[in-house]
Amino acid sequence: MSEISSKEMVKFYAGNALPLELHKVRVVQKLHLQPIEQRYRALQEAGYNSFLLTTQDTYLDMLTDSGCNAMSDRQTAAMMLADDAYAGSQSYLRLEQRVQDIFGTKLVLPVHQGRAAENIISQAFVRKGDHIPMNYHFTTTKAHIEINGGTLHEIFTDEALKIKSSHPFKGNIDINKLKNIIETYGVEKIPFIRLEASTNLIGGQPFSMKNMREVRSIADEHGLMIVLDASLIGENAYFIKQREDEYKNAEISTILREMADLSDLIYFSARKLSSSRGGIICTNDEGIYDKMRDMVPLFEGFLTYGGMSVREIEAMAVGLEETLDDQMICQSPSFIEYFVEKIDELGIPVVTPGGGLGAHVDAKGFLSHLPQEQYPAGALVAAFYLASGIRGMERGTISSVRDETGNDILADIELMRLAFPRRVFTLSQIEYTIDRLRWLYDNRHLVGGLEWDAEPRLLRFFLGKLKPIGDWPQKLMEKFRNDFGDSL
């Protein structure tokens, strides 16, 4: 296993270590950088929840990469070739062939997005009292499994939750913990083992091919199924190529196919993987396929569109092919690596090494004066929006749930995620992000906590509203004006 290093596809004569855009901008969208006073009003109306802000009041939308990646000219052109048909569309047949070519899976089910796939998989395989081991959960995955009566077990390695680390594969499953789960609950209570590529909630951290092979060996020994969430498989394959010696000369397509071959069932959100909309479930096992097939018409739509428009189907087919291009898939990880290294040099606590999807700022380290019960990740997201107009996402206790007694189940880590959608931001915008984060870090003592104002029962981080504890937003605004004058 190699040490982590930045692969410089292009070297600068001056020695600069800069990520180079390997695309040109042909269509632009106007952005809105509002004065801080307007940002404050918008934050109040949104209940200090970044999901409830609008793009009219947002300068850089770093909430997520889901559905926000820039589409290519080839994807846009393909949408004009769409075959509008309820059943048997040629557009779907083209997508099906692309999935079969890339993943090597002959049986394909379309769904409208990734969580729709989770719904179908959970209803098909999870029963009350089941236990599902995984490297780490995603919010909607957890909800679907628990609604169907299952319990998930996060069996990550000791490195996974370390904020500052040089370990290249913090998304690995701990093999000894996996063996213990099987021994404790028995194979009859474990419908599958779930592996998530580039684990979303712990910093977009990948797993290694070596680890996946080890998981496969355990699964085969006990007759267990492996379910792969491939929504960020492109980035995970890229990191394997960069960080695992055996694969340094391998094509992304070869790495991706091997990951697919080690899986029994694959699903993904096209909003991430192929810079489009929609989702896919695929397998080579007819028994697995038959347990899910009839749910697609029930929940999603006919088997040749699955709730997607045929135009998105065409865009997905092209996007999947483009995911195999090194120059495309490296763009987001290289920008993330640049950003993470810069703010790490400034002493700002951030998850290292940089992963896929986005940069993850350690809110507990940033706002060390706040107890976890006051939601430091949510407070940091709100404060950073106020200081910059940049919308990030809370990935901490607000994204968790309450226990049977009504107390918060405190998150393992409190993160502000700043997503880096593919081919969306310029380097000057990233420098602006670094600058405003640096200012906020220097004034972090002004930031206070949050408390609930209106708390939904399920997935509260989407629609819930909070309020500040004390008048810290006003104090932060006052300091901003003192330091920046009339600047936006």
In the set 98, 115, 170, 272, the catalytic residue is 272
Q: Which two tokens stand for residue 478?
A: 């006052």
Q: Looking at the predicted structure, is the pLDDT value of residue 2 above 60? A: no
Confidence of residue 455 (pLDDT cuts 50, 70, 90): very high
Residue 158 makes CB contacts below 8 A (sequence gap 6+) with 174
- 307 pLDDT exceeds 80? yes
Contact predicate 415/437, CB 8 Å: no
What's the pLDDT score for residue 11?
Answer: 83
41: which residues sit within 8 A by CB, 6+ positions away? none
For residues 370 and 64, the model is more confident at 370
Find the catalytic residue in 59, 92, 103, 138. 138
Query: Whole-angstrom Cα distance, residue 339 to residue 433?
Result: 9
3-state class (DSSP) for residue 365: helix
Collect all residues with Cβ–Cβ distance below 8 Å to 355 and sequence separation of at least 6. 170, 198, 199, 203, 204, 205, 206, 235, 239, 333, 336
Residues linked to residue 199 through DSSP beta bridges, in sequence order:
205
At residue 9 the predicted structure's pLDDT band, cuts being 50, 70 and 90, is low
CA distance 300 to 310: 14
- Classify domain 73-324 by CATH architecture: 3-Layer(aba) Sandwich (3.40)
Q: Which residues, other chains included, contact 373 with Cβ-Cβ below 8 Å and sequence gap of 6+?
A: 397, 408, 410, 449
- Parallel, antiparallel or unpaired: strands 226-229 and 151-154: unpaired
Hey, how many other C-beta atoms are within 10 angstroms of the C-beta on 479? 16
Position 480 pLDDT exceeds 60? yes
Q: Any catalytic annotation for residue 103?
A: no
In this structure, which amino acid lies at residue 225? M
Backbone angles phi, psi at 342, to 5 degrees: -65, -50
Q: What is residue 275's predicted lDDT score, i.e. its pLDDT?
A: 86
Q: pLDDT class for 232, splitting at 50, 70, 90?
A: very high
Q: What is the pLDDT of residue 8?
A: 52
Confidence (pLDDT) at 201: 87
CATH no. of 36-65+328-484:
3.90.1150.10
Cα–Cα distance for residue pair 299/417, rounded to 1 Å: 31
229 catalytic residue (yes or no) = yes
Q: Does residue 437 carry a pLDDT above 80?
A: yes
346 confidence band (pLDDT: 50, 70, 90)? very high
Please tell me which residue in 130, 174, 229, 362 is annotated as part of the active site.
Answer: 229
- pLDDT over 60 at 5, yes or no: no
> Per-residue pLDDT tens for 247-259?
999 999 999 999 9
Of residues 11, 12, 73, 86, which has the active-site annotation? 86
Q: Taking a C-beta distance cutoff of 8 angstroms, is the pair 92, 305 a contact?
A: yes
Is a pLDDT exceeding 70 seen at residue 166? yes
Domain boundary assignment for the chain: 36-65+328-484, 73-324
Token digits of residue 240: 């394997």
Given a cut of 60, whether residue 62 has pLDDT beyond it is: yes
The distance from CA 247 to its chain's CA centroid, rounded to whole angstroms, is 24
- 272 is annotated as an active-site residue: yes
The residue to which tokens 């092919």 are assigned: 321
> Is pLDDT at 132 greater than 80 in this prediction?
yes
What pLDDT sits at residue 6? 41
Q: What is the predicted pLDDT for the residue at 200?
A: 87
Please check the confidence at residue 3 and state whether its pLDDT lies above 50: no
**Whether pLDDT at 450 is above 90:** yes
76, 83, 101, 139: the active-site residue: 139
Average pLDDT of span 121-129: 98
Given a cut of 90, whether residue 18 has pLDDT beyond it is no
